[in-house]
Structure 1
Amino acid sequence: MTHAISMTHYFRPNVEAMAGYVPGEQPKPGTNIIKLNTNENPYPPSPTAMRVLQTLDGECLRRYPNPFANDFRQAISEVLEVPQDWIIVGNGSDDILNILVRACTELGRSVVYPTPTYVLYRTLAEIQPANVVEISYRDDFQLPIEELVAAKGAVTFIASPNSPSGHVVPTEDLQLLASELSGVLVVDEAYVDFADETALSLVQEFDNVIIARTLSKGYSLAGLRLGFGIANPSLLSGLFKVKDSYNVDAIACLVGAAAMRDQAYKNECVAKVKVSRAKLLLDLKQLGFQVRDSQTNFLLAAPPKGNAGEIYLALKERGILVRYFNQPGLNDKLRITVGTESQNQGLIEALIHLVQ
């Protein structure tokens, strides 16, 4: 017996219409690849954090975790000197962003951000759904404050440092923006560990500001999925209503707390990345690339002939992955994660043959 195939629409119209977020390519473990496409830290996690992972008590898996990840919140509080009740923990900082969009927006309430930036902001808004207002950065990546304020966002996202440009928005610009916004200002500091500036002080001045951070980049824990937000408790109170009851597992909480407290190791790895970043920038410029200064663990580089798509594919054939965004303003550029010295050297040696 055969059944006729019918076109049934199971999804909401906005979900049917959206493209969805496309993560960077992840090769199978053990594959002989130089992976410079998803801004992972090239160095291993803290040895202290690894010891916690290796000595876990099975009882922490049998029982539900603390719903607020208090062990991890306490570690954040100690290191960043913020009260524990000013912290919300998420399954990666993406979870924090998702909670914010779900709690604060709907049709008629806009998500606003300058572009180019992290494309997940649009995806989260489309899922909700919420209105999306994208405002182009100027050529010098000066924050378009007036346009952002005029958009009247329920949530305004500013990635600082920004991806894929690598620039930091000056704190005084964010301060001015926060003072004029009626909605929530989200300062996404995923790459702050590699930067010279943080906007963390703004949460004490404005109750509509939340700082989002992750352990994926500076702490080499992208696979753990752990992030957090810092804001006035009056703002967090609504977010706690929306988050999943147990959105952070017990393993992540314990390992993350150990990694957070091991600031010496994190800072040591960050320092190595910064040294490699400076050398890679110079090497790329010597090959004729136009490269922006960066306060992240990646560089945005335009090849001399503008043929970024071709170079991306040619590098992939050679076992080197970088990120290529085929969209206006970025289709002549590559986003390149800073790897180890040997990984960066392998990239440069490959590029020597491709750009001549």
Structure 2
Amino acid sequence: MRIRLSLNESPFQPSPKAVELASKYAPLSNRYDVSELRESLISELSRYSKVESEMIEIYPGSSYCIVLFLIYAKITGLPLVVPFPTFHVLHQLANSYEIAVKAVELKGKEFILNSEELLKLSEGSIVYLSNPNNPTSDLLIEDEDLISKIASKSKLVLLDEAYFEFSGKTFYNLAYEHDNLVVLRTLSKAFNIAGVRLGYSISSKKAKEIFNKLRVGYEIPIMSQAMALGALKDIDYMRKTVNSIILLRDETRKRLLELGIWSPRSRTNFLFLELPMKCVDVKREIERSNIEVLCLSDMLEFKGRFENWMRVSIGNEEHMNLFVEKIQQVLS
């Protein structure tokens, strides 16, 4: 069996509670919607996020919300401001949709954000920020005032907090102050249900309406909602698995640093590595051991810029021991 360390999935199975609720609601899959299930899910997300239910919206994966965000950019003709590099799918789709993009280059091996440039470009634009950032792994912004200034200048801000549970940093409270700020989250990473495809946002009613006007409706399968509700009802399980991933992440990073492989601090469930040789050459060798990783140079948007950079998801202890062992063999 292949060891997939390329998609930032969890190495842990879903909570038993999630599986239990999937079984409970399976007989209702002949329906497009079960209102009491949907309402229970939104209520549970509201409780978990510490906001009113009216501020919660659910999506078939957080990526779906990103697509809606880009459709809005296309319709309005507004330029899109993004850090570079950031989530590769956003770069790819913005290019496919022919959206004007203003990129703020992240600086140095720590990938530091130029906040002054970001603020300048934000004026009258729409802004996407992944915090912590994928693929660079660390927080881009820790200053609440900066987020507030960006929201004040721009038309719409999508703040992607997909890795919130691993960073512990959130700016959800600013959605009360800025009706153009949408905080986006997912249950794919920390809640161990990537295959369920359930994302949610925290925002004002006005921001929700912007996206909802672009939706078909009834996009989220009943089984996905059921498993999401079950996962949210087992917060202890989520926290246990997140803590395990964080401990293994930090231990793996330490071992790689000792091998001379640079990796910025990670506040996610993955590491971003600068190798002493081309990533594709290392990837080719470790794939012989059935280990899958991601080379940024494999993606058109990053070609020629990050030839030595690899993103590796944190698997279980056995996976990470084998990964480090094979990396050491290739580089020796």
TM-score, normalization by structure 1: 0.85
Structure 2 CA distance, aligned partners of 1:134 and 1:106?
20
Q: Which residue of 1 aligns with 2:104?
A: 135
User: Cα offset for 1:153?
Assistant: 5.5
- Number of positions where the alignment pairs a residue of Structure 1 with one of Structure 2: 323
Structure 2 CA distance, aligned partners of 1:69 and 1:132?
36
Q: Which residue of 2 aligns with 1:203?
A: 175
Q: Does the aligned pair in 2 maintain the 1:189–1:213 contact within 8 Å?
A: yes
Q: Which residue of 1 aligns with 2:11?
A: 42
Q: Does the aligned pair in 1 maintain the 2:40–2:229 contact within 8 Å?
A: yes
Q: Which residue of 2 aligns with 1:343?
A: 319
Amino acid across the alignment from 1:219: F
Q: Does the aligned pair in 2 maintain the 1:106–1:130 contact within 8 Å?
A: no
- State yes or no: 1:61 paired with 2:29: yes
Secondary structure of the structure 2 residue equivalent to 1:62: coil
Structure 1 CA distance, aligned partners of 2:232 and 2:259?
38
Amino acid across the alignment from 1:272: S
Secondary structure of the structure 1 residue equivalent to 2:183: strand
Amino acid across the alignment from 1:40: E
Which contiguous aligned blocks of 4+ residues in structure 1 show a shift greater than 4 angstroms? none
Equivalent of 1:161, from 121, 132, 139? 132
Q: Does the aligned pair in 2 maintain the 1:36–1:337 contact within 8 Å?
A: yes
Q: What's the RMSD between the two structures over aligned residues?
A: 1.9
Q: Which residue of 1 aligns with 2:191?
A: 219
User: Cα offset for 1:83?
Assistant: 1.0
Amino acid across the alignment from 1:75: E
Flag the structure with larger Rg.
Answer: 1
User: Cα offset for 1:127?
Assistant: 4.2
Amino acid across the alignment from 2:192: S
Equivalent of 1:90, from 59, 65, 70? 59
Secondary structure of the structure 1 residue equivalent to 2:159: strand
TM-score, normalization by structure 2: 0.91
Cα distance change on mapping 1:39 and 1:173 into 2, 3 Å: farther
- State yes or no: 1:146 paired with 2:116: yes
User: Cα offset for 1:104?
Assistant: 4.3
How far does the alpha carbon of each residue in 1:69-110 deviate from its partner, in whole angstroms, 9 at most, with x for none? 433211101111211111111110001111122234437311
Structure 2 CA distance, aligned partners of 1:312 and 1:61?
41
- State yes or no: 1:310 paired with 2:304: no
Unaligned runs of 5+ in 1: 1-31
How far does the alpha carbon of each residue in 1:217-248 deviate from its partner, in whole angstroms, 9 at most, with x for none? 11111111110111011211222111221121
Q: Which residue of 2 aligns with 1:24?
A: none
How far does the alpha carbon of each residue in 1:273-329 deviate from its partner, in whole angstroms, 9 at most, with x for none? 0110111011111222111110001111112x2332210111112211111011244
Amino acid across the alignment from 1:295: R
Q: Does the aligned pair in 2 maintain the 1:50–1:255 contact within 8 Å?
A: yes
Amino acid across the alignment from 1:301: L
User: Cα offset for 1:176?
Assistant: 4.2
User: Cα offset for 1:38?
Assistant: 0.8
Structure 2 CA distance, aligned partners of 1:301 and 1:81?
35
Equivalent of 2:291, from 320, 333, 338? 320
Secondary structure of the structure 2 residue equivalent to 1:113: strand
How far does the alpha carbon of each residue in 1:45-84 deviate from its partner, in whole angstroms, 9 at most, with x for none? 11100111223341x2122215894332111011112111
User: Cα offset for 1:141?
Assistant: 2.9
Q: Which has the higher helix share?
A: 2
Amino acid across the alignment from 2:309: K
Q: Does the aligned pair in 2 maintain the 1:276–1:341 contact within 8 Å?
A: yes
Q: Which residue of 2 aligns with 1:192?
A: 164
User: Cα offset for 1:129?
Assistant: 3.8
Cα distance change on mapping 1:69 and 1:123 into 2, 3 Å: farther
Of residues 152-161 and 189-198 in structure 1, the stretch that sits farther from structure 2 once superposed is: 152-161
Q: Which residue of 1 aligns with 2:328?
A: 352
Secondary structure of the structure 2 residue equivalent to 1:190: coil
Structure 1 CA distance, aligned partners of 2:281 and 2:86?
23
Equivalent of 2:251, from 252, 260, 279? 279
Structure 2 CA distance, aligned partners of 1:283 and 1:182?
42
Q: Does the aligned pair in 1 maintain the 2:42–2:56 contact within 8 Å?
A: yes
Amino acid across the alignment from 2:43: Q
Cα distance change on mapping 1:245 and 1:176 into 2, 3 Å: closer
Identity %: 24
Q: Does the aligned pair in 2 maintain the 1:287–1:355 contact within 8 Å?
A: no
Structure 1 CA distance, aligned partners of 2:98 and 2:181?
22
User: Cα offset for 1:181?
Assistant: 2.1
Secondary structure of the structure 2 residue equivalent to 1:134: strand
Secondary structure of the structure 2 residue equivalent to 1:55: helix
Q: Does the aligned pair in 1 maintain the 2:3–2:292 contact within 8 Å?
A: yes
Structure 2 CA distance, aligned partners of 1:316 and 1:174?
42
